[in-house]
Amino acid sequence: MAFTERGGTAWRAGQALLAETRAIFGLWYRVRDGTLSRARFQAAMGPHRRRVEAWLRRGAACRHAKTAATCREVLALAPALWTFVEVPGVEPTNTAAERPLRPAVLWRRKSFGTHSAAGSRLAERLLTVAATLKAQHRNIVDYVTQACIAALHGLPAPSLLPVPSVPSRRPSRQPVRARTA
């Protein structure tokens, strides 16, 4: 955290926020592995939340302009910071959202991007298709091949939407009960 490389209040806020982050993630990992209930986690988070927001307010009032601006920006989004505490299934980081973007970032870095708006559109569409199909555990080469064949025949491209599983139409094999008189 850049705050810890600055002096005064910025340094103190940075140190305190790092300590709170370590404690919060320690609790979160316990929720995730099942050793801490969600209810106890929520109760334990109250003091951490108050301390984090108090340090952000101190940072917003400090003399270091960058620290103050960053703290004000984070405070403006404070309710969103704590969504992972209130909503089951929400992670405290954006790692899951960033993971599908990583191949695109690496590709852009290696290829130096594109040289036209049309090239950029093609790249963004192919990268979107690849990420979508990968998330659905579908074969990317098969899809692109089908899309090219469809384009050659003037047909619409295959759908990127997942194909719903079709329930089998076999008759159920429930035992027949004998009638009793």
Same domain, 65 and 129: no
pLDDT digits (tens, 9 = 90+) for 74-108: 999 998 899 999 998 888 887 777 777 777 778 77
Q: What's the structural domain count of the chain?
A: 2
The pTM for the full model equals 0.56
Decide if 162 is inside a domain.
Answer: no
Average pLDDT of the residues in 124-141: 88
Q: How is residue 52 written in tokens?
A: 């984090």
**Phi, psi for 61 (deg, rounded to 5):** -100, 0
Same domain, 122 and 134: yes
| Burial group, residue 177, by CB count within 10 angstroms (0-12, 13-18, 19+) | exposed
Q: Tell me how crowded residue 84 is: count the other CB atoms within 10 A of its CB.
A: 18
Same domain, 141 and 118: yes
Decide if 55 is inside a domain.
Answer: yes
Residue 144: the pLDDT is 92
Residue 9: the pLDDT is 79
- 3 — pLDDT class (breaks 50, 70, 90): low
d(CA 38, CA 88): 8
pLDDT digits (tens, 9 = 90+) for 26-78: 999 999 999 999 999 999 999 999 999 999 999 898 888 888 999 999 999 99
Structural domain harbouring 24: 2-93
Nearest CA-CA partner of 127 in 114, 158, 151: 114
Decide if 163 is inside a domain.
Answer: no
Q: How is residue 21 written in tokens?
A: 């982050």
1-5, 45-49, 141-145: lowest mean pLDDT where? 1-5
